[in-house]
Amino acid sequence: MTALMFIGVVVIGYLLGSIPFGVIISKRFARTDLTEVGSGKTGMTNVLRVAGKKAAAASLILDIVKGTAAVLIAGAIFREETDTVAVVFTLNEIAKILAGFAAIAGHNWSIFLKFKGGRGVATFMGGLAALYWPAALIGAIFIFSIGFRTKYMSLGSIIGAVTAFILLMSFYVLKIDFLQPYPPFEYVLYAMFGAIFIYIMHRDNILRLFNGTERKIGEKAKAKISPSTDTYK
């Protein structure tokens, strides 16, 4: 029964993550297929290029909600799994991080877009917000402050994700209660693997940053798909 529940939360998380809000919103605001313009990615940065600020904000919020919803649903499903408090806590947390990763995978390789998508930053942060919101909030501050100051959202995303992981690790090791009880180790694992994954998904952006060819926020999308600088996908 427990194995089926784990499968269930992973499937739910993946399907939630697969909802291509960026594509839907871009068609509504700009009558454009987001996968055929700019980078072809489905996140906030490409939506901004194609459909403007309001559409980009809506896409960002909904992509965050996907990760948050996946984690909360997993926690609700596993809440009554056993009467042993310690076991409940462990199973609950494992289920939540699996659901969070499944939502990221769904966003990046959506079943509704022939397994295309984005890079999963917003969905990752949404899952982290449901797990330990102080780290997600500080990570988001770094993402946007660095992204908009430098005009390179890819750089902000990488630094923000790593910052969130470092904070969680510090809170866990030092047993710091920052606005809420210090996080369990499962949350640290989610942040660590999430940061590694985001780094890997941005490896092409990193090369362009070093080469000075990375596109900046606000550059208009071209009809022909070109290498991406999109991050919130």
Is the residue at 185 inside a domain? yes
Q: Per the structure, how many domains does the chain have?
A: 1
* DSSP 8-state symbol, 162: H
Q: Which token pair is 126? A: 């949404």
Residue 79 lies in domain: 2-211
pLDDT of residue 83: 46
Instruction: List b or e across 45-60, with b for residues whose CB sees 16 or more CB atoms inside 10 angstroms.
Output: bbbbbbbeeebbebbb
pLDDT of residue 224: 45
Question: Are the CB atoms for 72 and 9 separated by under 8 Å?
Answer: no
Is the residue at 219 inside a domain? no
Tally helices (H) and strands (E) across the chain: 9, 0
Query: What is the torsion angle, in degrees rounded to the nearest 10, for the CA atoms of residue 163, residue 119, residue 104 and residue 85?
Result: -10
Is the residue at 138 inside a domain? yes
Cα–chain center distance at 120: 4
Which residue is listed with tokens 């959202």? 153
Is the residue at 116 inside a domain? yes
Average pLDDT rounded to a whole number, residues 83-110? 84
Is the residue at 127 inside a domain? yes
126-182 residue pLDDT tens = 999 999 999 999 999 999 999 999 999 999 999 999 999 999 999 999 998 888 888
Cα–chain center distance at 194: 8
Is the residue at 170 inside a domain? yes
Instruction: List b or e across 144-164, with b for residues whose CB sees 16 or more CB atoms inside 10 angstroms.
Output: eebbeebebbbbbbbbbbbbb
Percent of the chain exceeding pLDDT 90 equals 68
pTM for the model stands at 0.90
Is the residue at 90 inside a domain? yes
202-228 residue pLDDT tens = 998 899 899 988 888 867 666 544 444
Is the residue at 220 inside a domain? no
Average pLDDT rounded to a whole number, residues 115-132? 96
| pLDDT over 90 (residue 45) | no
